């Protein structure tokens, strides 16, 4: 009974502290002084166990805090990946070799993972080890309009159109880390060349067959032109003589000349000329022999070869004999 009365008194005092009372005018200070009571402190009974707070790891009991925690964890599921250092993808132990034909469009692909706020630039290293800044991010910083830069996903692509031999050298993909990251590309632009057999021996009445090929050249948007000439003539050979067949493949830049029923006067220099997109030419010396002249020529070559072989064998025998005598 005594404990019940004591607990009721304590509860009455605790409630009275939180009651808002408006004092009559003029008696505010006195009234508040009389209604102010010391704080009440509750102690656990001696045999009571402390309350155990159970909650999931990383969360609080507050519903609002739990909501904020869940929202952050969901939107940042892989937030630790954002703090990985930038890195290149691919083999970094040596320069990446890029071969290109003259006139071709060259692509340099640089894949950078976890770039974040860093900057990607393209730099060219000249033969004198001078550095030429080409691009910074998506902006071009060179007056050469053949250079363009683009980015797709994590790949930064530098494009060089209408490549020339003098464009050969080292190109660097640069990332603005500390220290800076560099990936090197070695570009080799091959010079164009035109090839054909230099000499041909035929008999009169036979068919001449010459093949000409242009190597290491990409014509781009220009339509290539290949023509054939004989001697010092500036007129295409198929316009000067009948029985001429010219087959040209503009995709492979090859041309095949055939001249039927050769005559002695058909002998001379035959020129294969590339007129566009640039000028190049090569020639072959054609010999037209009468009747048995070709067989005699071949027989003469064989006789000369046999004679030279016999002479060389004799000289070696004499040298060996003299060495043995000593």
Same domain, 202 and 239: yes
pLDDT band of 73, cuts 50, 70, 90 = very low
Same domain, 157 and 228: no
Is residue 170 helix, strand or coil?
strand
- Identify whether 276 is part of a domain: yes
Same domain, 216 and 179: no
Mean pLDDT of 144-152: 95
Same domain, 202 and 276: yes
pLDDT of 65 reads: 47
pLDDT of 314 reads: 59
- Identify whether 27 is part of a domain: no
Last residue of a domain, one of 190, 209, 235: 190
Q: Which CATH number goes with the domain that contains 254? A: 2.60.40.10
Question: What's the order of all strands across the beta sheet hosting 199-203?
Answer: 199-203, 280-289, 268-276, 225-230
Same domain, 94 and 143: yes
- Identify whether 254 is part of a domain: yes
Mean pLDDT of 83-96: 83
Same domain, 104 and 183: yes
For residue 71, give both structure tokens.
């929202």
Cα–Cα distance for residue pair 240/234, rounded to 1 Å = 11
290 pLDDT exceeds 50? yes
pLDDT of 35 reads: 41
- Identify whether 271 is part of a domain: yes
Domain of residue 137 covers 87-190
Same domain, 149 and 222: no
pLDDT of 316 reads: 62
Same domain, 201 and 182: no
Last residue of a domain, one of 126, 161, 190: 190
The lowest-confidence range among 14-28, 98-112, 262-276, 303-317 is 14-28
pLDDT tens figures, 174-199: 999 988 899 999 999 999 999 999 99
pLDDT band of 296, cuts 50, 70, 90 = low
pLDDT of 68 reads: 43
Count structural domains, the chain: 2
- Identify whether 80 is part of a domain: no
116 pLDDT exceeds 90? no
Q: Are 113 and 89 in contact (CB under 8 A)?
A: yes
Same domain, 197 and 181: no
- Identify whether 126 is part of a domain: yes
Percent of the chain with pLDDT over 70: 63
16 pLDDT exceeds 50? no
Mean pLDDT of 92-114: 93
- Identify whether 96 is part of a domain: yes
Same domain, 219 and 280: yes
Same domain, 198 and 281: yes
pLDDT of 210 reads: 95
- Identify whether 217 is part of a domain: yes
Flag whether the pTM goes above 0.75: no
pLDDT of 317 reads: 54
pLDDT of 9 reads: 47
What does the mean pLDDT of the chain come to? 76
CA angle 58, 64, 65 (to 5 degrees): 25
For residue 295, give both structure tokens.
């067989």
pLDDT of 220 reads: 85
Same domain, 207 and 254: yes
């Amino acid at each position: 009974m005594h404990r019940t009365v004591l607990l009721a008194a304590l509860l009455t005092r605790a409630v009275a502290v939180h009651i808002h009372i408006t004092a009559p005018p003029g008696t505010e200070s006195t009234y508040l002084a009389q209604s102010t009571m010391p704080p009440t402190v509750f102690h656990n009974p001696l045999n009571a166990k402390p309350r155990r707070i159970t909650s999931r790891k990383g969360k609080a009991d507050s519903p609002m805090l739990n909501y904020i925690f869940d929202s952050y964890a969901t939107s940042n599921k892989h937030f630790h990946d954002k703090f990985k250092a930038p890195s290149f993808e691919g083999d970094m132990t040596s320069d990446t070799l890029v071969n290109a034909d003259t006139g071709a469009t060259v692509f340099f692909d640089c894949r950078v993972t976890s770039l974040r706020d860093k900057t990607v630039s393209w730099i060219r290293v000249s033969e004198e080890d001078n550095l030429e800044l080409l691009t910074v991010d998506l902006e071009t910083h060179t007056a050469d309009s053949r250079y363009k830069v683009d980015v797709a996903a994590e790949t930064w692509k530098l494009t060089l159109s209408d490549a020339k031999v003098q464009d050969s050298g080292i190109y660097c993909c640069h990332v603005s880390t500390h220290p800076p990251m560099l990936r090197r590309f070695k570009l080799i632009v091959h010079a164009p060349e035109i090839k054909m057999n230099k000499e041909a021996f035929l008999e009169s009445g036979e068919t001449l067959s010459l093949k000409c090929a242009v190597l290491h050249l990409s014509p781009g948007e220009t339509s290539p032109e290949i023509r054939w000439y004989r001697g010092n003539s500036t007129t295409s050979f198929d316009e000067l003589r009948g029985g001429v067949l010219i087959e040209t493949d503009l995709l492979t830049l090859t041309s095949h000349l055939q001249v039927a029923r050769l005559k002695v006067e058909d002998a001379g220099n035959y020129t294969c000329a590339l007129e566009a997109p640039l000028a190049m030419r090569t020639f072959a010396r054609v010999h037209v022999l009468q009747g048995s002249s070709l067989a005699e020529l071949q027989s003469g070559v064989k006789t000369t070869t046999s004679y030279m072989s016999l002479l060389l064998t004799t000289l070696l025998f004499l040298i060996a004999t003299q060495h043995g005598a000593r």
